[in-house]
Amino acid sequence: MKTVYKPLILSILTAVLMGMGGCDTAGTEPKTAEPDRRNAITIMTWNVQALFDGVEAGNEYDEYLNSAGWSAEKYSGRLNVIAQAVEKIEGGAPDILALEELESARVLEDLAGGLSRFHYTASYFTGNPGYSLGVGILSRFPFISVKSHSLTINGETTPRPVLEVRLAVNDAPLALFVCHWKSKLGGDDATEALRRSSARIILRRLREIRKEDPNIPAIIMGDFNENYDEFYRRNAGAICALLPDDPRAVSLTGFSGSAGETALQTDFIILSKSKPPAVRYFPPETISVYDPWAEELQNGSYYYQNKWETIDHFLLSGPLFDGAEWDFDSARVLNESPFTNAKGSPAAYNPRTGSGLSDHLPLLLTLKMIGP
């Protein structure tokens, strides 16, 4: 049966709009309209594991209902523990926080309030109707624009939108995408189509950005529910949303290896081990990104059935390696206390006892400014 894609949500919003999930004064007033001048910035992505507030709205998971013992007090306590963990990160709290599994804009703004001394003056949250949790971003730098994208495929909607934020630091622009793709609940093959539909959104926007200004760096981050080596974990027999530059992937996707076939790259992203990202087996026009799991990151960010998984990502576009303005410097997994437990795996949150943080570890990215 032919697959039909249609847009469900495509909202283009500026960060100054109020009442639609975003604001430019998240908890504190900015000291200045201009971002701080600095030679480096840090960006964190973290799935904070079902961060519900204390007000029952009817969309909560069972363990976060008032009848199960969830309360405003437990919510407040959890926010405090999360804020304290962010404060204790070596080098200080990140300049930008991309967060997954948030219930609402209120949660994002409450967290910014708990981190008020770090001056997160811009925030935005987005989610899809009918789904419990969405994604959001906190930033010390003002937003230039915000977009929220989602797709419906064969009657199924991506559970969470892709959040796109444009900002500038030191007058150098950055395009940021915050993602939480469809989980594998229901089976790898059965759910892959929705992950590939989210990849379709990213590919479309990367092509549009490339036409608009090929020098704008793009960072795609979040919980993709897909491993860096997903293709190999599935015995190189399935087209995944994230694919390696491998002749077997070329064969599966229908590329002959000749130029001019990029129209076939509709819903999968090629992961490159090269800096800047480049392809060897796919045609040179193929869009590829660098994933720090190739070299910088180790073990994993999620621990499932006694195995590490690499489902949280930073995907980096070519301009982050061109030696101009913002360039890639380093990336690491925060596999340390308080994010880990005594066994070294993620300190998952327990809503009954109030212990722990999240079943995912955060990833931290550092960019450096090249030139004046």
User: In this predicted structure, what is the pLDDT of residue 177?
Assistant: 98
In this structure, the strands spanning 156-157 and 134-139 are unpaired
pLDDT tens-place string over residues 206-254:
999 999 999 999 999 999 999 999 999 999 999 999 999 999 999 999 8
**CA–CA distance, 240 with 311 (Å, rounded to integer):** 13
| Residue range(s) defining the domain that contains residue 357 | 5-370
Name the token pair of 298: 């180790």
**CA–CA distance, 121 with 139 (Å, rounded to integer):** 6
User: In this predicted structure, what is the pLDDT of residue 23?
Assistant: 42
Q: Is the peptide bond before 214 cis (omega within 30 degrees of 0)?
A: no
Domain count, the chain: 1
Q: Is the peptide bond before 276 cis (omega within 30 degrees of 0)?
A: yes
In this structure, the strands spanning 96-102 and 134-139 are antiparallel
pLDDT in tens, the chain (372 residues): 333 333 333 333 333 332 335 443 333 333 333 445 579 999 999 999 999 999 998 889 999 999 999 999 999 999 999 999 999 999 999 999 999 999 999 999 999 999 999 999 999 999 998 899 999 999 999 999 999 998 877 777 888 999 999 999 999 999 999 999 999 999 999 999 999 999 999 999 999 999 999 999 999 999 999 999 999 999 999 999 999 999 999 999 988 766 566 678 999 999 999 999 999 999 988 999 999 999 999 999 999 999 999 999 999 999 999 999 999 999 999 999 999 999 999 999 999 999 999 999 999 999 999 976
What's the CATH code of the domain at 236?
A: 3.60.10.10
Nearest to 221 by CA among 163, 139, 266: 163
User: In this predicted structure, what is the pLDDT of residue 260?
Assistant: 60
